[in-house]
Chains A and B, each alone.
Chain A
Amino acid sequence: MNVFVIIYYTLLLGGSCLAAFYNKRSAFLLLFSLTLVSFILGIVGGVGALRIVAICAGLLALSAMVSYAFREFLVAIAPTNLAKELRTAPLTAGFGMFIIFTYAIAGIFAPWIAPFGEAQIISSAFAPPDETMLLGADQLGRDMFSRVIFGARNTVALALAGTVMAFLLGALAGLLAATTGGWFDQILARTSDVIMSIPSLIFALLMLSIFGGELANNTTSFVLLTIFAGVTGLLVVTAVSERSLLGWIIGLAVLAGVSTSFALGMLVIFNPSEIILVLVVAVIYSPRVFRLTRAVAGNVVVMDYIEAAKLRGERTWYLIRREILPNSTAPLVAEFGLEFCFVFLLIAGLSFLGLGIQPPTADWGSMVRENATLISFGDVTPLIPAGAIALLTVAINFVVDWMLHRSSGLKG
């Protein structure tokens, strides 16, 4: 018997006795069943197995503490109304928010955090970790750690841009369809059905092979971006100007200006092939957003206060902005988080297939593929970017779960 084992069992048994004494049923059951399991584990696996259990429990406790502290930190700095909401967040949501926060910091300050550039070759291929390279080198001798940090920036920024655009188009179309109804609603709904009927990965591959090669230049992506912004803006103009001719003229003029500058702005941030990727993602995911928004808004539109506003002679845009949107934000925000995960995974998947983000840009999906050969040598390097993807997905889902729970009004 060594000291570790004695302390281990003393803590467990003492804890379960205390829990039983203070009538904490669930804590007692957890602790005592862990004790019983540990007896068997100890006999089968020896001290090593017990050590692993202890480390896991320690890690769990550590992340719980971090989540708790981070949630309290947010409560402390947030304004009163928001703080009240945040206080209802479970620890898992706190953990999720902490992870998202860390990723955001890593992404935004990547050039300062990463010790080397993302395409800088500093050692031999597949060099093992040492003092300068925390996670070793990849297949060309680039620093793995730096590339993971830069990957946060590239992958997440692309996924975010894609999701935001999908939401702008889908949500606007959904709100307008629910408010207007009739043939307008029918056209939009059937169009979205058509897009949704094509499997998303195949559709993405198709679109990317059409626009990905020769066509991925500044002119094409500018034109496509302008068309996308134009369609989205057209929905806004429809809602704002309704039947006034002057409204249409002014609206269209403003729309032309806005969509051109939007396209130019996007071109500054992303390169042409990335823009094509973002657009493909937006087109694939907007029908889902459209469906959800239309359903949510459909429930709001039948309320008496909408009728009152219609009878007052309000325009569709006012109805959407002031009456319907505030009553459908909760499910939409939750859906945003969820869709972001899907988009993120889609982009990582496309990069893994070699169709997404092009080298030498660091990206988690392609990093997994490039280093995949190492897995047969028992090296964990390719699992690091994969783990980064998994962790972010889990974190976002934790936060989304909390929001869904709140918006659905479930209890307990």
Chain B
Amino acid sequence: MTKNKDVLLKIRDLKIQGYSDESWVDIIKGVDLTLHRGEVMGLIGESGAGKSTIGAACMGYARDGTRISNGSIEFDGMELTTATESERRALRGSRIAYVAQSAAASFNPAHKIIDQHTEAPLQYRIKKRVEAQEDAMQLYEKLRLPNPTEIGFRYPHQVSGGQLQRAMTAMAMSCRPDLIIFDEPTTALDVTTQIEVLAAIRDIVEEYNTAAIYITHDLAVVAQMADTIKVLLKGEEVEEASTKEMLDNPQEEYTKSLWAVRSFESPQKYRPKDGVPLISVRNVDASYTGGDKVLDDVSFDIYEGMTVAVVGESGSGKSTTARCITGLLPPSKGEILFRGEPFPPDYRNRTKDQLRQCQMIYQMADTALNPKVKISEIIGRPAAFYSGLKGAKLKNRVDELLDLIELEPSQYYNRYPPELSGGQKQRIGIARALAAEPSFIVCDEVTSALDQLVAEGILRLLDRLQDELNLAYMFITHDLATVRSIADEVVVMQHGKVVEQGPKDDMFTPPHHPYTDLLLSSVPEMDPNWLTTLLEERGIDNVGDAAAARIDPKDKKVSTT
């Protein structure tokens, strides 16, 4: 396909300020950006680097509490910073479209998908309703949504996350815009679903020769999508180059560190020859009130000082297993043993000591820490509660714990969670679990809400703590890179069943269970041709749910487990 090399979007010396603590602070400190027609640019950086802010600025939009203080944004010859609000509004939806991170939160749950799809063309009088609907169905078909003629007439909650994300891309396409801004469209999705969405987005952007800005923190994803990559750090540009050049030969230190993230790997440990497992899950079935079985005959063991990673897509029962172990959801059948002794199924019947042995670290540090309680109390409370520490002893213990998680005690002692960054919050969550002096910690997707660099720091920390304190982890994740770096043993779950389990080495060497194989091959790689190759191998219709459904029940590996 030939690409028209007119400049579409030109940003010069853009400065954006945010309002905090009664003064304006620079968030974006002079960024330049040039985007040609039909070009896809990837914006990469940690959270707080200003990626999304720039994305919004491309539409001439400053979010609440921010203002564009300097610079120019020129879209197809039109200066957006001086344009009136109504002129800018006329661009949005028709010529510049936006695809948000969480489609589920961005669709209006009260309207059918197709009604929301046709809203923009009708508003701009580009098409009549019926035409717009037919066009929507064509787009749905192009994006390989199942039942393209029917799916639009459902409400957003009746459609799965990956499909919704594609429907949103279709919606962005409804007016055939010149520019689409993708703000982390696949971050909230499973690896297997991610592929479907990536392939769909890439095809449609290519077909209509639409320019796109692709915002993400996942390098492997951006390598598949973008023609050029721009790396941002704290509101400043680090470097910009074409994708291939950037991957092969990054210039700046910061970029190299981003590239090197997944290097961390903890040495694998093996089960002790004879010994009682610390936690042992025996034939557990569980269901939520009145619902179907969510867990079906799940059993695995966790030995002292070891990390067991539980992997699977969302809905595969990983978190439910954790809830059974912690006692939040008493299993309907089977039992949980702790050092060979049965654990009371309901946490309310467990003794203080039993409760202390088993702690939890949550996925969303935002909701896991009470925003109105000081750090000193969040960490100090378990110590005071279980060990009865008071006064100076308690303060020493809190200082010790803050040291352990590599935060300066005097600085954090009196602060509140909303004042901390995501990674710091997660560290506080870890400290709270450690304060109880447990022997076993459930880590529920602890790194999935974090950037790669920060996540790596957390993984290293967890690994170090495991060595120092001889902790056992049950590590719930859908990210296989995480598994590779920290796990000793792996349990793969699908539809509430354990499909395969074993030591990490075995799990990562073929032959795999077909489902494990699907998961493994769906993890994006840094190679820019990875997606193309994969799609050629598997065939365009054999990704995501379709591929999972296609697993042959008579496969040798399936029948043996």
**Given A311-B326, A311-B360: A305 and B385 within 8 A (CB)?**
no
Q: Taking the complex as formed, is B253 at the interface, i.e. its CB lies under 8 A from any CB of chain A?
A: no
The answer to whether A313 and B364 have CB atoms under 8 Å apart is no
The answer to whether B326 and A305 have CB atoms under 8 Å apart is no
- Chain A residues near B65: list those with CB within 8 A: 411
- Chain B residues near A1: list those with CB within 8 A: none
- Chain A residues near B542: list those with CB within 8 A: none
Query: Could you tell me the dominant secondary structure of chain A's interface residues?
Result: helix
In this complex, the member of A307, A308, A322 whose beta carbon has the largest number of chain B beta carbons within 10 angstroms is A308
Instruction: Kindly identify, within residues 347 to 388 of chain B, every residue whose CB is under 8 Å from any CB belonging to chain A.
Output: 347, 350, 352, 355, 358-360, 362, 364, 367-373, 377, 381-382, 385-386
Q: Taking the complex as formed, is A218 at the interface, i.e. its CB lies under 8 A from any CB of chain B?
A: no
Q: Taking the complex as formed, is A303 at the interface, i.e. its CB lies under 8 A from any CB of chain B?
A: yes
Contact of A311 among B327, B369, B372 (CB under 8 A): B327
- Alpha-carbon distance between A322 and B373 when the two chains are bound, in angstroms: 8
**Which size class do A's interface residues fall under?**
10 to 19
The answer to whether A308 and B368 have CB atoms under 8 Å apart is yes
- Alpha-carbon distance between A262 and B135 when the two chains are bound, in angstroms: 73
The answer to whether B328 and A311 have CB atoms under 8 Å apart is yes
**Given A307-B328, A308-B432, A411-B64: A313 and B370 within 8 A (CB)?**
no
Instruction: Kindly identify, within residues 43 to 72 of chain B, every residue whose CB is under 8 Å from any CB belonging to chain A.
Output: 64-65
- Alpha-carbon distance between A311 and B386 when the two chains are bound, in angstroms: 12
Contact of B364 among A304, A310, A323, A411 (CB under 8 A): A304
Closest to A327 in B: B372
A336 to chain B, nearest CB (A): 18
- Chain B residues near A323: list those with CB within 8 A: 370, 373
Instruction: Kindly identify, within residues 307 to 361 of chain A, every residue whose CB is under 8 Å from any CB belonging to chain B.
Output: 307-308, 310-314, 322-323, 326-327
**Given A313-B355, A326-B370, A327-B372: A308 and B362 within 8 A (CB)?**
yes
**Given A305-B368, A307-B328: A314 and B360 within 8 A (CB)?**
no
Closest to A411 in B: B64
The answer to whether B372 and A313 have CB atoms under 8 Å apart is no
- Alpha-carbon distance between A411 and B66 when the two chains are bound, in angstroms: 13
The answer to whether A312 and B436 have CB atoms under 8 Å apart is yes
- Chain B residues near A326: list those with CB within 8 A: 370, 372-373
The answer to whether B352 and A308 have CB atoms under 8 Å apart is no
- Alpha-carbon distance between A310 and B381 when the two chains are bound, in angstroms: 13
The answer to whether A313 and B369 have CB atoms under 8 Å apart is no
The answer to whether B64 and A311 have CB atoms under 8 Å apart is no
- Chain A residues near B382: list those with CB within 8 A: 312
A337 to chain B, nearest CB (A): 21
Number of interchain pairs (Cβ within 8 Å): 52
- Alpha-carbon distance between A97 and B461 when the two chains are bound, in angstroms: 51
- Chain A residues near B327: list those with CB within 8 A: 311
- Chain B residues near A311: list those with CB within 8 A: 326-328, 347, 355, 358-360
Closest to A329 in B: B372
Contact of B385 among A310, A314, A327, A411 (CB under 8 A): A314
- Alpha-carbon distance between A312 and B432 when the two chains are bound, in angstroms: 10
- Chain A residues near B371: list those with CB within 8 A: 327
A346 to chain B, nearest CB (A): 33
**Given A312-B382, A313-B355: A304 and B367 within 8 A (CB)?**
yes
Contact of A310 among B64, B347, B352, B362 (CB under 8 A): B347
Closest to B378 in A: A305
**Which size class do B's interface residues fall under?**
20 to 34
- Alpha-carbon distance between A323 and B65 when the two chains are bound, in angstroms: 29
- Alpha-carbon distance between A303 and B382 when the two chains are bound, in angstroms: 18
Closest to B352 in A: A313
B344 to chain A, nearest CB (A): 12
- Alpha-carbon distance between A312 and B327 when the two chains are bound, in angstroms: 11
A186 to chain B, nearest CB (A): 16
- Chain B residues near A322: list those with CB within 8 A: 370, 373, 377
- Alpha-carbon distance between A117 and B327 when the two chains are bound, in angstroms: 67
B49 to chain A, nearest CB (A): 25
- Alpha-carbon distance between A16 and B386 when the two chains are bound, in angstroms: 70
The answer to whether A304 and B355 have CB atoms under 8 Å apart is no
Contact of B355 among A303, A307, A312, A327 (CB under 8 A): A312
Contact of A313 among B373, B385, B432 (CB under 8 A): B385
- Alpha-carbon distance between A313 and B360 when the two chains are bound, in angstroms: 13
Contact of A327 among B362, B370, B381, B436 (CB under 8 A): B370
Closest to B429 in A: A308
The answer to whether A312 and B328 have CB atoms under 8 Å apart is no
In this complex, the member of B327, B382, B386 whose beta carbon has the largest number of chain A beta carbons within 10 angstroms is B382
Contact of B369 among A305, A314, A411 (CB under 8 A): A305
B432 to chain A, nearest CB (A): 7
- Alpha-carbon distance between A125 and B400 when the two chains are bound, in angstroms: 78
- Alpha-carbon distance between A310 and B326 when the two chains are bound, in angstroms: 11
- Alpha-carbon distance between A48 and B350 when the two chains are bound, in angstroms: 82
A179 to chain B, nearest CB (A): 13
- Chain A residues near B328: list those with CB within 8 A: 307, 310-311
A356 to chain B, nearest CB (A): 39
- Alpha-carbon distance between A411 and B63 when the two chains are bound, in angstroms: 12
- Alpha-carbon distance between A326 and B386 when the two chains are bound, in angstroms: 23
Closest to B372 in A: A326
Closest to B347 in A: A311
- Alpha-carbon distance between A197 and B377 when the two chains are bound, in angstroms: 43
Instruction: Kindly identify, within residues 153 to 179 of chain A, every residue whose CB is under 8 Å from any CB belonging to chain B.
Output: none
- Alpha-carbon distance between A326 and B373 when the two chains are bound, in angstroms: 8
B244 to chain A, nearest CB (A): 42
- Chain B residues near A313: list those with CB within 8 A: 347, 350, 352, 355, 385
The answer to whether A308 and B360 have CB atoms under 8 Å apart is yes
- Chain B residues near A304: list those with CB within 8 A: 362, 364, 367-368
Closest to B64 in A: A411
In this complex, the member of B327, B352, B370, B377 whose beta carbon has the largest number of chain A beta carbons within 10 angstroms is B370
Closest to A324 in B: B370
- Chain A residues near B359: list those with CB within 8 A: 311
- Chain A residues near B64: list those with CB within 8 A: 411
B447 to chain A, nearest CB (A): 16
B376 to chain A, nearest CB (A): 13
- Chain B residues near A305: list those with CB within 8 A: 367-370
- Alpha-carbon distance between A129 and B370 when the two chains are bound, in angstroms: 60
- Chain A residues near B377: list those with CB within 8 A: 322
In this complex, the member of A313, A314, A411 whose beta carbon has the largest number of chain B beta carbons within 10 angstroms is A313
B150 to chain A, nearest CB (A): 34
- Alpha-carbon distance between A314 and B386 when the two chains are bound, in angstroms: 10
- Chain B residues near A307: list those with CB within 8 A: 328, 360
Closest to A305 in B: B370
- Alpha-carbon distance between A304 and B361 when the two chains are bound, in angstroms: 10
Closest to B21 in A: A84
The 3 closest A-B pairs by CB, nearest first: A326-B372, A304-B368, A305-B370
| Extra 7 A-B pairs, beta carbons < 8 Å, given A304-B362, A311-B358, A311-B360 | A303-B367, A308-B432, A311-B326, A312-B355, A312-B382, A313-B355, A323-B373
Please, could you name 26 A-B residue pairs with CB atoms under 8 Å apart, sorted by A?
Answer: A303-B368, A303-B370, A304-B368, A305-B367, A305-B368, A305-B369, A307-B328, A308-B360, A308-B432, A310-B328, A311-B326, A311-B328, A311-B355, A311-B358, A311-B359, A312-B382, A312-B385, A312-B436, A313-B347, A313-B350, A313-B352, A314-B385, A322-B370, A322-B377, A326-B370, A327-B372
- Interface of A with B (CB < 8 Å)? 303-305, 307-308, 310-314, 322-323, 326-327, 411
